[in-house]
Copies of this chain bind each other. A is one copy, B any other.
Amino acid sequence: MIRINENFLSLKESYLFIEIAKRIRAYKEQHPDKQLIRMGIGDVTLPLAPVVVEAMKKGCDEMADKETFKGYEDSGRGYEFLRKSISGYYKSFGVEVDFDEILISDGAKSDCGNIVDIFGIDNTVLITDPAYPVYVDSNTMSGRKIIYANSNEENGFAAMPDDSICSDLIYLCSPNNPTGSVYTKEQLKIWVDYALKHKAVIIFDAAYEAFITDKSLPRSIFEIDGAKDCAIEICSLSKTAGFTGTRCGYTVIPKGLNAYTRNGDAVNIFKIWCRRQGSKFNGVSYPVQCGAAAVFTEEGQKQTKEGINYYMNNAKLIAKTCDELNIKYTGGINSPYIWLKCPNNMGSWEFFDYLLNEIQVVGTPGEGFGPNGAGWFRLTAFGSKENTEEAMKRLKKLLKKD
């Protein structure tokens, strides 16, 4: 008799987004004439940069010609032209990553979810609370013990390690989803030292690195001494270049990084991950890889940075509005997320309903990202300028009235 992996039954249903959709549906049925402004979901709205589209179409044309057609990619790790572009991109902000340590994926979520396959289920996993749900879900599915590091108002939603607590696999995300907080180099150094001491591995989610403008803040964990001995970095073009529907990301696994057998023998992580991917993945679509490489050209950087600036102007406006309304928040600077404390001690869901009913603005209740999110709320800067302006106008009118 076929048995299910019962760990799946321990997962929370994704009640958060189901519940959000349900409440929106109910509202719309009662108010079919009202236009909602969606600032909840983390999806982008600007189209792909022209240089990216051009490169993808050229890639398509190559697939139409026998001489330039591309079948299976030999390694499945990504074409060298793209990996070298990304290596050059790292170099542009002072980080040395060899192209041969970079693996191309169909998005950060896939690699972030699948990477746990290669680690023993007896590892203890340390995740910040609140956090991107994939970290918790992928480890729950495989039955690992999860412990939490508190991100909260006191530490500016930047959890730090407790040296007395052992853990083996650590998830960090900076700039953070959902809180928008960004670790300083000094803070990341403390995490790296903790990981080295415990022979732990850090999974560093750098999906929002392109939103960092403050040059003193680290955009990669590999800016920190020692990180190559304890960290894997996962990154994405989803927010950097609007690839949420185009699908491309990359993962950096330093060649010298090891995990251990129960006997304490070192096993090379890069090699084991390649073995995993060799059996369960067959590379990213060639035209998509062409488009991704275009992001890292001079023109591509110029065009995609225009998009990032556009979103960051929205973020600034949201942050400014919170300032004016005396609402506490993190993020908004160096991050497309604004994580705000619900005014008047409202609960996350209470504030959700309040914004939906009163001003038809949809955000995300913070407790969907973990218990520490209770009483907090996430707004994103990925909407249009017009909608963001309109939403902030309504928000000001609503809360000043109170």
Contact = CB atoms under 8 A, between A and B. Distances in A.
A226 interface: no
Given A169-B2, A267-B4, A284-B247, A69 B56 contact: no
A134 B280 contact: yes
Contact of A119 (B4, B53, B281, B282): B4
A338 interface: no
Contacts of A245: 63, 69-73, 283, 285-286
Contact of A260 (B3, B117, B244, B276): B3
Interface in A103-149: 106-107, 109-110, 113-114, 117-123, 133-134, 137-138, 141-142
A199 interface: yes
Interface centre among A3, A14, A286 (most CB of B within 10 A): A3
Contact of A200 (B2, B71, B107, B291): B2
29 contacts: A1-B198, A1-B199, A2-B200, A2-B201, A2-B260, A3-B120, A4-B120, A4-B269, A5-B118, A5-B121, A5-B272, A8-B272, A9-B267, A45-B66, A47-B64, A48-B60, A48-B64, A71-B245, A110-B280, A113-B280, A114-B114, A114-B280, A117-B142, A138-B280, A141-B276, A245-B286, A247-B282, A247-B284, A287-B288
Given A6-B120, A45-B69, A72-B244, 10 more contacts: A2-B260, A3-B259, A3-B260, A3-B262, A4-B120, A106-B282, A109-B280, A245-B285, A247-B282, A247-B285
Interface of A: 1-6, 8-9, 11, 13-14, 41, 43-48, 50, 53, 56-57, 60-61, 63-66, 69-73, 106-107, 109-110, 113-114, 117-123, 133-134, 137-138, 141-142, 168-169, 198-201, 242, 244-247, 259-262, 264, 267, 269, 272, 275-276, 278-288, 291
